[in-house]
Amino acid sequence: MKRIRVTRTSGALVASLALAGVVPIAQAQQAAAASPPPMTAQEKEIGKKVYFERCAGCHGVLRKGATGKNLEPHWTKKLPDGSTQEGGTLKLGTARLDKIIGLGTEGGMVNYDDILTKEEIDIMARYIQQVPDVPPEFSLKDMEASWKLLVPVDQRPKKPQHKVNLKNIFAVTLRDTGELALIDGDTKQIWQILKTGYAVHISRLSASGRYVYTVGRDGLVTLIDLWYEKPTTVASIKLGADARSVDTSKFKGFEDKYLIGGGYWPPQYSIMEGETLKPLKVVSTRGMTVDGEYHPEPRVASIVASHIKPEWVVNIKETGQILLVDYSDIKNLKTTTIESAKFLHDGGWDASKRYFLVAANASHKVAAVDTKTGKLAALVDTKKIPHPGRGANFVHPQFGPVWATGHLGDAVVSLISTASDKKEHAKYKANNWKVVQELKMPGAGNLFVKTHPKSKNLWADLPMNPERENAESVYVFTMTDLSKPPLKIDVAKDSGLPVTKALRRAVHPEYSEDGSEVWISLWGGKTNQSAIVVYEDKTMKVKKVITDPKMITPTGKFNVYNTQHDIY
């Protein structure tokens, strides 16, 4: 019998085929259920833009989920008869999706009713019931076409043209304007604001500390030279449609030579010249997960540069694979693949810079990689959805060296015992790669924890918590007595800015170069005034509020010296 294959046809056509005996009735019903709510072309364009800017990072371009849930149509739409259950599977539908988008969830998704209009929320509730759009691929030739060398190396300054203390400069993301503010940490004055990619995810420093690299969520990388009298963008390049991470080559003999960038879409990483951004190589990350299944969108999450080898640690989110990429010979690239767990996200070095710890947030684990041996040291069970940022290192009074991570899905900060080669730490070995203590927080929704070698405090934010009093505050633990509850600091109140309906989320504690100050972003809406509130670390008192009409939606802040040397 000749088979007829039907693909992406309408529910009505499949129903007709079913009546004719060509396809089964069940298949006809399934196809009818695949008919999404109607949308105009203009509404689809709005949905596409909002999804890219606000949703794709957690849920994926193809909506298969990672940190956020799977948003494919097979479970976002109701059945043809309007029911919301099928074999125990919840079918959300427009009304339920509207509420989730507007009010947020306890799992760490923020409420968008103070970010999006009611019309935009309605559009998004219908948009995520449509078949996902698949963006185009992005090749080495595409990178070459996007590359702009604005100032050749031989035309740049031979020495700094100013007396600014570069070690204490803060690179501050102005998320919604697609800009980077460089702020003098000594004077608290804005030194320069430069155009970058949209919603810069991170800023990284070259090994020499001269260059700042930014990567936007639109895949645009910018190279900023700090030696000019006013910092200047000297090169830019596109990595693709969506990106999150870059880092430089830091090993001796390779300082400032290479830059690596990780793509969310397409799922691949790219290697460029460090001083010009000239593209050299593109490597796909599509492949098999640790469970042995093929995944079409294994995005590159965090990337860090080793201090002990000419290697980058490249974390592949959906596959749960950690790559050690040897950049000593770019033409003949050598890669070590380490199996861990899904879905890999952010992470940071332990105090020795030998072990890299990264959150596998969907598995509720932290993977520890021994970069000296090139093997997995441990998979550590944590509470729900660990989200460390870079984490925080300190010596616990009872358990020795520990690395801290907060959680999007649970109200604790977990302290993990890390291995150490120091003789005085040998007595703690039995606790290595175990959670030795959980510090209680007032709720879930933490994004970043931070400390400094010269500090006795551990700072933790709660920007993703649905309660205003938590989202607008930070919490400070005293490391000499971790039995005490944390001190709550109301950053929004301390800013002196007028109260608005929209939240101003306190996010991303960052220390000054000498460890004496902690800078907190107060992230308001695009039309509401935001600020950076600077605290004295010892007293936890406000030292300065940095606010300016141009300070729009500040989020991540990266101190030059601490970022250059991976101090956290």
Catalytic, 55? Answer yes
At residue 32, the pLDDT reads 46
Choose the catalytic residue: 201, 295, 387, 508: 387
Choose the catalytic residue: 58, 124, 464, 551: 58
Choose the catalytic residue: 55, 124, 441, 479: 55
Catalytic, 58? Answer yes
Choose the catalytic residue: 124, 272, 295, 345: 345
d(CA 441, CA 438): 9
Catalytic, 109? Answer yes
Q: Residue 420 belongs to what H/E stretch?
A: none
Catalytic, 387? Answer yes
Q: List the strands of the sheet with 386-396, edge to edge.
A: 386-396, 400-407, 412-417, 435-440
At residue 15, the pLDDT reads 36
Catalytic, 201? Answer no
- Please identify every stretch of the chain with a pLDDT value under 50, giving residue numbers as ranges: 1-29, 31-32, 81, 83-90
At residue 8, the pLDDT reads 34
Which residue spans of the chain are classified as CATH 1.10.760.10? 36-127
47 φ, ψ to 5°?
Answer: -60, -40
Which residue spans of the chain are classified as CATH 2.140.10.20? 137-151+196-339
Token output for 563: 């970022």
The pTM of this model reads 0.87
Choose the catalytic residue: 59, 364, 407, 425: 59
d(CA 47, CA 440): 38
At residue 112, the pLDDT reads 85
The total number of residues shown for the chain amounts to: 568
At residue 80, the pLDDT reads 54
Residue (of 144, 66, 27) closest to 387 by Cα position: 66
> What does the angle CA 256 – CA 137 – CA 319 come to, to the nearest 5 degrees?
75
The verdict on whether omega for the bond into residue 266 sits within 30 degrees of 0, i.e. cis, is yes
Please identify, in words, the CATH class of the domain defined by 137-151+196-339. mainly beta
d(CA 343, CA 321): 9
Please identify, in words, the CATH class of the domain defined by 36-127. mainly alpha
